[in-house]
Amino acid sequence: MKQLIIVADMEGASGIFDSNREACWHEELHPQNTLWRSYGRDCITSDVLAVCNAAIEMGIDDILLYDMHFAGCKEYNVQIEMLPSIVRTFDLPNREALWSRIRGQAAINPYGIITVGQHARAGEENAYFPHTIHTPPIDSFYINGIHVAEIGESVMCFCDVPYLANIGCAASHKEALELSPNITCITVKDKARHGNLPARKLILSYSMA
């Protein structure tokens, strides 16, 4: 069995920019916000779906998804019902970031891990919604000299598992490449090159080598 781990965030999803940032705001904490349900969920779902489809094409037969955006809120950001049937979610109360429980539910030797919808850590230039760890609001956290944010905490939970790809804001790749210089970086939005683009949804299409 080839098991792939996917860790999804939302600030780095395609189609979400400064002009429509409310698309990231989970409805359980922002009940007056309608953009998360009407638009934002479609954005991150399309990105995750593209990864799942590519993984299946290359022979992956088991996908474990951790939807970490607004961990602690019960409802998923990713529309799970839109994903292929081989996709499973980690058994977590309200999607909480219980990393030992997450690692314990995966195979001992998964095929690899892919991070999707990722944002840059605090302090990175030309980044959409950069932050290190929101709860608590930690500005900087270092492990072995690496400024670790939400990408790093996910990847380091699966130490020794091949880190295959990072998909998201161009500025997020800096942290990802420090964690594993051989990963594939897929950019869905680049603030340095395009600034605040009109709100639109980008569809990913790629294959995993």
**Can you give the residue ranges of every domain in the chain?**
3-194
pLDDT at 195: 66
Q: Which residues of the chain have pLDDT under 70?
A: 135, 195-209
* Rounded-to-integer distance, Cα 113 and Cα 167, Å: 12
pLDDT at 201: 46
3-state helix/strand/coil string of 28-67: CCCCCCCHHHHHHHHHHHHHHHHHHHHHHHCCCCEEEEEE
pLDDT at 1: 85
Strands 163-169 and 184-189 turn out to be parallel
In DSSP terms, 113 is beta-bridged to 5, 163
Of the candidates 43, 71, 75, 58, the one whose C-alpha atom is nearest the C-alpha of residue 2 is 58
Chain segment 113-149, per-residue pLDDT in tens: 999 999 999 989 999 999 988 767 777 888 888 888 9
pLDDT at 78: 98
pLDDT at 205: 46
Alpha helices in 70-127 (DSSP H): 99-105
* pTM beyond cutoff 0.85: yes
The structure tokens listed for 133 are 């760890």
Quote the CATH superfamily of domain 3-194.
Answer: Dipeptide transport protein (3.40.50.10780)
Q: Do 32 and 188 form a contact (C-beta atoms < 8 A)?
A: no
